[in-house]
Structure 1
Amino acid sequence: MTSIRPITPLRSFVRLLRGPRFPAVLLLAAAGAGILLANTPAAPVAFAVQDAHLGIAGTPFALPVGSWIADGLLAVFFFSVAVELQVELTAGELRSARRAVLPALAAGGGVAVPIVVYLALAAPAGLAAGWPVPTATDIAFALGVLAVFGRGMPSGVRIFLLALAILDDIVGIVFIAVLFAHDVELLPLAAAVVLVIVFGALSRALGGRRTRPIMAAMIVLALAVWALVLASGVHATIAGVMLGLAIGQHPGMRARYVLEPWVNGAFLPLFALSAALVAIPDVGAGGLSPVFWAILVALPVGKLVGIAGIGWLAQRVLRVPAAVRLAFADLVAAGVLGGIGFTVSLLLADLAFAGDPMLGDQAVLGVLAGSTVSLVAAGIVVSWRARAHRIRAQEETA
């Protein structure tokens, strides 16, 4: 006779954290709280906590609290993304070139067009360095908005958006690894690669079992890989990507499942809170940098034009059958969802303007404003399309 585990308040809360809706609301609330906190009398205390150094003095591991969040906690998020990417590439929607080509082309448009828009607005002022910022799509947020407003949307739209956002994140990861690695030390990086190979081999020896010594060794190896990547000069979140791609599929999905409530309920909100600790400048609209305006326009407009336009064109060039073709209005819905850039865009803004905190703050404000515009537009467009699909389904049933 099987026993039924009672549903406790804690278990109900964890279930909420595993869903697509509540984490999106939590992330938005954390970002809003960061901006409010940075513009109240409590701001000096918040900035002091963010800048307080923790770690071993005189080593690469003496970091401000803000850097521990961005380099440490966010590496766990990238590990989860990489595990999902590995599953999609081996057993999911991206396992064949034919399935991946449409979202890949749309993702390419969703990266290229925002770059063009940003450069058109910011490059004349000599501020081209921020071009990677509006290229990212926040997977969790976009899927959360789709879940909240998209009841009745075809499953193909969600699959298309998921594949597009994952490919989008690959581009963001490449940007972080290639553009923002400074004074790279090859020896610790090579050692990290070796340990990643050992980590992957141990995960396959683990299989579906829960052998504690192997699991403990994998945790130690993961921490060592993170430390070595940080010491090498490559952004430490790349450690999470390497480990997520190397881990065996079964233990990887198990690890992702265990980490999901922590990532959604603590790590991402803490990062959003820390990244959004930006004092709004006391200037009129004319006093805002072209960086702010370029990101504000590039995220909602560039993503929409790039994803919907290239997606529509690709369906016709590739002669996608009408039965599985996405309607142009559904591509528009995916395009406005793609403009929600929060997590990775905030990280890219921090990295792109690391040497100029004032421009970095304006870039963060641009990300928050552009993502909010996309969020509102997505709520309207997705609700409209979902209602149209529900009416059509009712008519077909009748």
Structure 2
Amino acid sequence: MKILRSARFPAILLLVAAGAGLIIANSPIGPAVIEFSHAHLAVPATAIDLSLTHWVSDGLLVFFFFMVSIELQYELTRGELRSARRAVQPALAAAGGVIVPIVIYLIITAGSGFQEGWPIPTATDIAFALGVLAVFGRGLPSGVRVFLLALAIIDDVVGIVFIAVLFATDLNFGMLAAGLLTTVLFGILSRMLYGRLQWLVIAGLVVLAGLTWAFILLSGVHATIAGVLLGLAMAQTPALVTRHALEPWVNAVILPLFAFTAALVPIPDFGGPGEAVFWGTLIALPVGKLIGIAGMGWLGQRFLATPDHPKIATGDLIAVGALGGIGFTVSLLLANLAFASEPVVRDKAVLGVLAGSVISMFVAAALLILRVRHHRREGTAVQEEAA
């Protein structure tokens, strides 16, 4: 299980799964596999009826957002985001990493009629970015990882807000109220976990979590928001224990399965509808993220630096900006949501996410290797001076 909790292995698994999905979709068996993924599976005696693909993106992916939310809760109470002074610099970098990609996407897609895809290049995949950093950034100052983690969490919060606000359809306020009520009950019950009736409490938590997911799904808000609400509501100690238990399954099964199904798209003919979406996403992720994160990160450190918050070298900030362009999980979800009613355009958006994320990955890897060499040279020079 240790390898499944490492930062490196999940990133490799995600890339392999996405590549497999793309290859299979464009192979002779592709049409049959895609048709199977669209088969529906209903929950008896309920209004829940989802395709297999949506059972992954609206069902299983809830566990990923649950984990992200627990990490957010921890960072807000004990970590890098626990005070405004600590959060302001990664928050500024995250803001730049959201705004600049949006601007680039809107410029490229202007007049195409597909500007509604602007949220797609705003996301950073925490697992993937940290995985690339772990593989190629060994030897960098620890502050680089801390800054990237804080930035990526804030970035995911923005993505969660986009999912909740922009992609809610036909809101059913009764179902939404029911989901919020079961979330509150879940939070209260999680604070009674360590008592005599522990197993009964666990069973109650599972039931309430399932009800929350169902109510949020039926409310018209995207079902992954249920994971966010539950992660924020749960008492922190059992939440961290639960996150630790879920992590191998999310890394080894859920995220690769989502990457596979999301990348299960036939490569369309280019030149038709949605070509601007492909290029807008492809360019906005690697270029927009790098410029936005590095630029705003530099400004934040230039004008808001504090003695207890050591500066990150400009070269390291640029490498972090490149890592931010690895959109992957949340960007793939946003692509599917933004163009759910236009399959051809959605497929081009997905391909743009995959291509842009891979470009960012290679650029980030190259920059990290250069920065590691730079820090090693500096360390050697300091040792020689001391001698």
SS at structure 2 position matched to 1:54: strand
1:320 deviates by 4.1
- Give the AA of the match of 2:47: P
Q: Match of 2:341?
A: 355
2:124 corresponds to which of 137, 158, 172: 137
Asked if 2 retains the 8 angstrom alpha-carbon contact of 1:295 and 1:363, the reply is: yes
Q: 1:214 to 1:227 in 2, by over 3 A?
A: same
Aligned-partner Cα distance in 2 for 1:114–1:83 = 27
SS at structure 2 position matched to 1:81: helix
Asked if 2 retains the 8 angstrom alpha-carbon contact of 1:60 and 1:230, the reply is: no
Asked if 1 retains the 8 angstrom alpha-carbon contact of 2:126 and 2:153, the reply is: yes
1:58 deviates by 8.4
1:247 and 2:234 are equivalent in the alignment: yes
Asked if 1 retains the 8 angstrom alpha-carbon contact of 2:123 and 2:330, the reply is: yes
Instruction: Report Cα offsets for 1:69-114 as digits up to 9, x if no partner.
Output: 0000100100000000000000111001000000000000000000
Asked if 2 retains the 8 angstrom alpha-carbon contact of 1:31 and 1:269, the reply is: yes
Q: Match of 1:53?
A: 40
Q: Match of 1:324?
A: 310
Aligned-partner Cα distance in 2 for 1:147–1:209 = 42
1:319 deviates by 3.9
Q: Match of 1:85?
A: 72
Aligned-partner Cα distance in 2 for 1:270–1:330 = 32
1:264 deviates by 0.1
Aligned-partner Cα distance in 2 for 1:210–1:150 = 46
SS at structure 1 position matched to 2:192: helix
Q: Match of 1:378?
A: 364
Structure 1 stretches of at least 4 aligned residues deviating more than 6 Å after TM superposition: 285-288
Asked if 2 retains the 8 angstrom alpha-carbon contact of 1:208 and 1:251, the reply is: no
SS at structure 2 position matched to 1:347: helix
- Segments of 5+ residues of structure 2 without an aligned counterpart are none
1:282 deviates by 3.8
Instruction: Report Cα offsets for 1:277-329 as digits up to 9, x if no partner.
Output: 1111244x788710000000000000000000011011112144498111110
- Give the AA of the match of 1:246: A
2:278 corresponds to which of 276, 292, 295: 292
Point out the more displaced range, 100-109 or 388-397.
388-397
1:347 deviates by 0.2
- Give the AA of the match of 1:383: I
1:156 and 2:156 are equivalent in the alignment: no
| TM-score, normalisation: structure 1 | 0.94
- Segments of 5+ residues of structure 1 without an aligned counterpart are 1-13
SS at structure 2 position matched to 1:205: coil
2:164 corresponds to which of 169, 177, 180: 177
Alignment: residue pair count = 384
Instruction: Report Cα offsets for 1:157-209 as digits up to 9, x if no partner.
Output: 00000000000000000000000000010111101111111111111111599
SS at structure 1 position matched to 2:191: helix
Q: Match of 2:300?
A: 314
Aligned-partner Cα distance in 1 for 2:196–2:324 = 38
Q: Match of 1:204?
A: 191
Asked if 2 retains the 8 angstrom alpha-carbon contact of 1:110 and 1:302, the reply is: yes
1:275 deviates by 0.2
Sequence identity percentage: 59
Q: Match of 1:236?
A: 223
Asked if 2 retains the 8 angstrom alpha-carbon contact of 1:350 and 1:364, the reply is: yes
Asked if 2 retains the 8 angstrom alpha-carbon contact of 1:152 and 1:389, the reply is: yes
1:236 deviates by 0.2
Aligned-partner Cα distance in 2 for 1:128–1:64 = 27
Q: CA RMSD in A?
A: 1.7
1:210 deviates by 8.6
| TM-score, normalisation: structure 2 | 0.96
Asked if 2 retains the 8 angstrom alpha-carbon contact of 1:34 and 1:277, the reply is: yes
Q: 1:239 to 1:190 in 2, by over 3 A?
A: same
